[in-house]
Structure 1
Amino acid sequence: MSRSQSHTQQLEALNRRQCLDRLQQVRVGRLVFTEDALPAIQPVNFRLWREDVVIRVAGGAKLAAATDHQVVAFEADELDPDLRSGWSVTVVGTAEPITAVDDLVEVAGTFVEPWVQGRRDHFVRIRTERITGRQIFDDAVPHYRP
């Protein structure tokens, strides 16, 4: 009996709490923003802070998006192509620079060293105005819901 005949994959929508829990499990996502009037996407390391996504940037288009309070999208996932399982979460919200000293001190303590050399002195907060997620799982494997 082939894999597709014995069982199937199931797709489940995640609620807000489940989406936030999934985002706590990974450290890299993709930021979608506007650069020179065109869509741009870049991998970024991030942290959740007060239920919002925070990234650390050197400047450039990502900081400009925050300074202009652009609506951006952020996506993170954990997928296993061999098992055909995993999850994906998308956040849509307004980007804004974090400038209050108390907030900067609090946020700076949550970040590890950047992957790439160079200074990253700015923190950008993406307000979690809309969050959606999906989880794919194998119906033959026990599925435990948090």
Structure 2
Amino acid sequence: MSTDPNPAAGQSNPGQSHDVENLDSHECWRLLRSVTVGRMAVWVDDHPDIFPINYKVDHGTLVFRTAEGTKLQAATGDTPVAVEADGVDSDSGIAWSVVVKGQAAAVKNQEEVLDTVGLLLFPWQAGKKEHFVRITPDTITGRRFKIVPPLTWWTPLDDATRSGLE
């Protein structure tokens, strides 16, 4: 598994508020453990699709439950998947985003299924979600940054556009 190829990973310049801090893999995993919902991107037939998933981190992998259907078929096919999770600290205005890319596979081995049940992974949506899927990462990357105030993005063109609509 590789991490962000940026040699300055984990470094930022505190003198500039628009800098992005590239996170090392340990911090990425810590942040992934702090939330339980992400978005999984898959390839379905001839187009990309995105599904929300609630997951648990398990020994350097992500595990989620799902029902039979498009999400399960697309995730466990031959095409790799990507999962993105993010968060923000409203007090500090610091946001983060982590992306895991890798292969997903159905959990079928009886011992592994029993271990996975022990994760206490409860789907948010009602219904029969009897399939456990494990995503084994090839790469994990993450970034942390300060959210800028909306006025930072104001330009003189904003007023011109608005006056044209009045």
TM-score bin (small chain)? 0.7 to 0.9
Contact conserved, 1:65 with 1:95, CA < 8 A, in 2?
A: no
SS in 1 for 2:137: coil
Q: Does 1:24 align with 2:44?
A: no
CA RMSD across the alignment:
2.1
Are 1:9 and 1:84, in contact at CA under 8 Å, matched by a contact in 2? no
Correspondence for 1:111: 120
Mark the CA change 1:112 to 1:135 in structure 2 (over 3 Å): closer, same or farther. same
Amino acid at match of 2:23: L
Matches within 5 A, 1:75-114: 75-80=84-89, 84-114=93-123
The 5 Å alignment of 1:1-146 reads 8-80=17-89, 84-137=93-146
Structure 1: give runs of 5+ residues left out of the alignment. 1-5, 139-146
Partners of 2:123 and 2:76 in 1: how far apart?
22
Per-residue Cα deviation, 1:49-100 (whole angstroms, up to 9, x for no partner): 1111111110212211243232000000002578542110000001111111
Aligned residues: 133
Aligned AA for 1:114?
P
Say which SS state the counterpart of residue 55 (structure 1) adopts: strand
Q: How far apart in 2 are the matches of 1:22 and 1:133?
A: 9
Cα shift at 1:113: 2.8
Does 1 or 2 have the higher relative contact order (CA < 8 Å, sep 6+)? 1
Between the aligned partners of 1:124 and 1:62, the Cα distance in structure 2 is 10
Cα distance in 1 between the residues matched to 2:99 and 2:76: 22
| Aligned partner letter, 2:48 | P
Please report the TM-score for the alignment, with normalisation by the length of structure 2.
0.73
CA contact (8 A) 2:55 2:64 kept: yes
**1:25 and 1:45 mapped to 2: Cα distance?**
12
TM-score, normalised by the number of residues in structure 1: 0.82
Closer, same or farther in 2 for the Cα pair 1:42/1:67, shift >3 Å? Answer: closer
> Which segments of 5 or more consecutive residues in structure 2 lack a partner in the other structure?
1-14, 148-166
